[in-house]
A and B are shown apart, each in its own frame.
Chain A
Amino acid sequence: MSAHEQELHLGHQFEDLKQQIESYTIGMWIFLVTEVMFFGGLFTAYIIYRAKFPEGWVHGHHHLDWRLGGLNTLILLTSSLTMALAVRAAMLNKWKPQVLFLVCTVLLAFGFMIVKYFEYSKKFREHIVPGPLFAHKDDPGQELFMGLYFALTGLHGFHVLIGILVISAITIRTINMRRMRQDFIPVELVGLYWHFVDIVWIFLYPLLYLISK
């Protein structure tokens, strides 16, 4: 373990490795706070309009398949597990399991996006995308619900795409660059990001797919 840390590069602006790692982690958490506020605006809109159009929410959520949403929750939770195991492998300086777990995470993320693709295309076919072609024009609450559905899951899906890009880049660099294998910080930080994306979905799933009645 101690041999591992001596190989870690210590930036000249830091006192020691502990401070360096803590500084990176704090920076990531600050970024995650801005992300909470970013999604928070949409969640606030969701709460206010759900209070205003309760029937629209109940009608709107019938367009969503709770089984597909549950499958995606399962996929994201599993990808969080593989991500956590990748971070663990990186900390223990085992770069091969690290690459394996990162590849698993990216594959699961693609699985999530594929399920989303089928969900989205079904809604476009059935004209329940907000806009002039919306099939239930007499129910503004329902259109608003679908609008928030696409805004929330779209922004979340965009975060998944960014996650795929960053995790893939780190995986390729870990394979190609020996120097990257000593530094677990990039994996640790993208891990924090990935778990945050998972948490957003943990809230989106019951809020969008599991409305009773």
Chain B
Amino acid sequence: MTNLHDEEHSDVVHAASVGSYLANYFALLGLLIITVAVARVDLGILNMYAAMLIAMVKTVLVVLFFMHLGKAGRLSRIWALTGIFFFLIMIGLNLTDYSSRHMDATSSPTQPQRGGEQPPAE
């Protein structure tokens, strides 16, 4: 670990060029157009995976170039990964639970008991 006092303070602020922000912006707009275009083609279940993949790429672009996480300190990066990690744990455990209970829409408690909707007795 070098002594921070000896370092130049130029790495304290890290302003990127206007061009790099504009390039990132147009990349995001391009991905937005791709998202809409892909959604208009019927790919079945692949549609959702494609949409989520594009959203993740957009997120990476925003996080790296607008939030400049790459130039932020190591601890900031660890915290960002912690957020993803615990989010995945929450989704993973919940899906494990729900997918092993064999519940489907027909056994839903909201479905059958609807007052006054019984077929009229002949």
Partner-B contacts on A (CB < 8 A): 1-2, 4-5, 15-19, 21-22, 25-26, 29-30, 32-33, 36-37, 40-41, 43-44, 47-48, 51-53, 66, 70, 73-74, 77-78, 80-81, 83-85, 87-88, 91-92, 137, 140-141, 184, 191-192, 195-196, 198-199, 202-203, 205-207, 210-213
Contact = CB atoms under 8 A, between A and B. Distances in A.
A196 B79 CA distance: 14
26 contacts: A1-B10, A4-B13, A15-B4, A16-B5, A17-B9, A22-B73, A29-B83, A41-B90, A44-B91, A47-B91, A47-B94, A48-B94, A52-B105, A52-B108, A70-B36, A88-B16, A88-B21, A140-B111, A195-B62, A195-B63, A202-B55, A202-B59, A206-B48, A210-B35, A210-B47, A211-B39
A29 B95 CA distance: 27
Given A198-B62, A213-B42, 4 more contacts: A80-B62, A85-B21, A202-B58, A212-B39
Given A33-B79, A91-B15, A212 B32 contact: no
B23 to A, nearest CB: 11
Contacts of A18: 4, 7, 9, 11-12
B32 to A, nearest CB: 6
B103 A199 contact: no
Q: Is the interface of B mostly helix, strand, loop or mixed?
A: helix
A40 B75 contact: no
B90 A88 contact: no
A195 B67 contact: yes
Contacts of B82: 33
B121 interface: no
Given A52-B103, A202-B62, A210 B51 contact: yes
B29 A26 contact: no
Nearest to A140: B110
Interface core residue of B55, B80, B82, B104 (most chain A CB under 10 Å): B55
Contact of A199 (B16, B32, B59): B59
Contact of A33 (B9, B40, B59, B86): B86
B42 to A, nearest CB: 6
Contact of A212 (B43, B79, B95): B43
B36 to A, nearest CB: 6
Contacts of B62: 80, 195, 198-199, 202
A25 B73 contact: yes
B40 to A, nearest CB: 8
B80 A29 contact: yes
